[in-house]
Structure 1
């Protein structure tokens, strides 16, 4: 099978700064290639990366590309130019996976030899599916049920062509400790991700302040970028967080791009918290899943996307982020998890086992089975 993957104008692959999307496509592509398929990744050019190379049986073709801005309308114009110049250069293939806005339209209309088009829907739709651009798309892969429902509402005609396939993680790196975890009197709560208002970090710090008054032997570590150029909330938001954290046992750490060091960071903690407030900004966050793979129990907001892989009291804990008492709810959830530590440890065993279902190999096989059905015109 010939599989081409187009990651769009913004994303260098392999990722230069540990971005999860770049890691995911690299891992899936290598899994496809390991099973004997011909795989090419078409991604943006970037200083220090060759325009053409083969790594682990995957061919990388780097051409064009643009820096992403914070203006969605400007980015749509940039992406239009990217799609217009990219579709003539697409190699012939059986399957064309696209993570892009305009390119599926150009490829379906002008390049039938580019393969059956699979749109990888990793973001909540913002009206683009109502435009009728994707009539020629063979498959819409939604990362979660909430993304599937969002696309269905915008384009009911896409429903028969949709399938949910979650993000994978590297379970060879993100794995539980090799020896039983030493009982620690001080419990460390960890957050990994962008330090941005939509991630609810301010709420997390306020809840932690309440928790410290009840259980003094706790610490909070916040790991991730805060600069706007890295997807963070910027200097002013970071200043607000630092002010909130004054006098509290809270550590702010830079983003960790080395996956091995990141896995060690997960393993050094006792609880993981991902208090996202992004009702339509989360598709299938991998940070909680990576934490689960190391045996770390997640505490998450009750966004629908988390329900795909977390069950209350079985795979983690939820708190009501929409309530007027959201801060108190999160503090109470922390208190319950730490007070009944035996139960939390049992959940840790469950989540480590469950995360194995999201390995690159298993998710790649789901894709490959679906591709085979598409090529044989088998309805699913």
Structure 2
């Protein structure tokens, strides 16, 4: 069986080196299906103008050249403005990375692909469907674009998909509520974590280190990630723990204002407007008092294989986001048996069971965040129990094998439904045999 994963146009086709969550997802799930004797292709951005085809571990990575889209960009923007009926911004119009979608559609057709799994870009569904009428097409949403854009313009795209996946129940439920006619197609397939690699340290964390607790943030440096709130909270914590450290890992990659701020009316998001008119990284660095300059450490972007020591050394992993569909750093931290703190936003409330494997705080509230940080480091046994509970939840729900098996069951269900419609009788044969 041939399966294609269509990454976002800015995600490298080959295995991701940094923290691109959708690229990580495709890579890990592709490994699972490849190991179970399926032919797998991962589409993504052509890297450094190298040969666009590469094969690693029986997975084929196909890089798509951006040159066609570079030529079409001006035409696409003009066409979008003239298309007053759709009421869609350029980034959601059919013209946004149209060349990428077209090249994927044609290549998939040439390879008679059976399953085409598209990340986030709903406007790729029609063009891919046009050239692959018999393929099973899945749209997998990792953000709220579909929920926030013109309903009449989005509905035809969802209509042509065989399955609508989301990375959290939060997103799934909102899509099902907004498009009830397609609610039967809406399912959740979470992000995951390599629980064999992201594991607790071989020797227990020393509980005597509470005079110099280590806090960790892993994520993009962008206004909606709430790094400014975290620094504010950390400064408050150092009043009690003057030797505390905060390590911030992630690239300075700002989500464009039109992709987030212009779509989400929630007050915590609207409060971020001023940050879009300055250099956000320089701003958050300016919040650091001189006497804490060596204790708040900006590491920049790191590849996945370099993150483990930071998670294992941390006393607390914190995600203070103001908009978050899932929260990868939380499950990575929990896998290493590290207590976590998250805001009561989006899919993070599904990951963190308050007072059990971590703590939840109100978004945009540095005082509450500081109180949660202190509660954990002040109570080592409480922290130890939360860490163990977090690891247990990861093993129960978030290993990549479990995520892939969940996806496998959804693939099998749509194939069974297709066979039933063709034969007019119940079909029990699965496209993906059980292991």
TM over 0.5: yes
1:277 to 1:229, Cα distance in 2 relative to 1, 3 A:
closer
Question: 1:36-78 CA distances to partner (integer Å, 9 max, x unpaired)?
Answer: 1121122221216532222111122222237999x96257433
Aligned to 1:127: 149
Residue 190 of structure 1 deviates from its aligned partner by 0.8
Cα pair 2:221 2:252 within 8 Å, conserved = yes
1:328 correspondence with 2:328: no
Aligned to 2:81: none
Residue 336 of structure 1 deviates from its aligned partner by 1.4
Residue 257 of structure 1 deviates from its aligned partner by 2.6
Residue 134 of structure 1 deviates from its aligned partner by 2.2
Residue 138 of structure 1 deviates from its aligned partner by 0.7
Aligned to 1:40: 41
Residue 176 of structure 1 deviates from its aligned partner by 0.9
1:344 correspondence with 2:379: no
Alignment equivalent of 2:177, drawn from 153, 172, 179: 153
1:172 correspondence with 2:196: yes
Normalised TM-score (structure 2): 0.79
Aligned to 1:6: 6
Residue 16 of structure 1 deviates from its aligned partner by 4.2
Where in structure 2 are the equivalents of 1:233-252 lying within 5 Å?
Answer: 236-246=279-289, 247-248=291-292, 250-252=295-297
Structure 2 residue runs of 5 or longer lacking an equivalent are 78-88, 258-274, 421-425, 427-435
Aligned to 1:254: 299
Counterpart Cα distance in 1 of 2:122 and 2:295:
40
Question: 1:193-219 CA distances to partner (integer Å, 9 max, x unpaired)?
Answer: 111221111111111122211333422
Cα pair 2:249 2:302 within 8 Å, conserved = no
Question: 1:7-52 CA distances to partner (integer Å, 9 max, x unpaired)?
Answer: 1422113224442321221111011110111211222212165322
Residue 121 of structure 1 deviates from its aligned partner by 0.9
Where in structure 2 are the equivalents of 1:64-79 lying within 5 Å?
Answer: 64-65=65-66, 73=90, 76=93, 77-79=95-97
| Deviation >4 Å, runs of 4+ | 66-69, 227-235
Residue 347 of structure 1 deviates from its aligned partner by 0.6
Cα pair 1:189 1:272 within 8 Å, conserved = yes
Aligned to 1:102: 123
Alignment equivalent of 1:87, drawn from 98, 101, 105: 105
Counterpart Cα distance in 1 of 2:164 and 2:151:
11
Counterpart Cα distance in 1 of 2:189 and 2:253:
31
1:302 correspondence with 2:344: yes
Normalised TM-score (structure 1): 0.89
Counterpart Cα distance in 1 of 2:150 and 2:127:
15
Where in structure 2 are the equivalents of 1:264-283 lying within 5 Å?
Answer: 264-278=309-323, 282-283=324-325
1:54 to 1:227, Cα distance in 2 relative to 1, 3 A:
closer
Counterpart Cα distance in 1 of 2:149 and 2:256:
26
Counterpart Cα distance in 2 of 1:233 and 1:272:
26
Structure 1 residue runs of 5 or longer lacking an equivalent are none
Residue 144 of structure 1 deviates from its aligned partner by 0.7
1:84 to 1:54, Cα distance in 2 relative to 1, 3 A:
closer
1:45 to 1:230, Cα distance in 2 relative to 1, 3 A:
farther
Paired residues in the alignment total 371
Residue 6 of structure 1 deviates from its aligned partner by 1.4
Counterpart Cα distance in 2 of 1:187 and 1:267:
13
1:360 to 1:103, Cα distance in 2 relative to 1, 3 A:
same
Aligned to 2:219: 193
Question: 1:91-116 CA distances to partner (integer Å, 9 max, x unpaired)?
Answer: 31221111223221122244213x11
Counterpart Cα distance in 2 of 1:38 and 1:221:
40
Residue 284 of structure 1 deviates from its aligned partner by 1.2
Question: 1:224-259 CA distances to partner (integer Å, 9 max, x unpaired)?
Answer: 222559999797222222222122263232334332
Counterpart Cα distance in 1 of 2:252 and 2:160:
40
Aligned to 1:372: 412
1:230 to 1:107, Cα distance in 2 relative to 1, 3 A:
closer
Cα pair 1:270 1:296 within 8 Å, conserved = yes
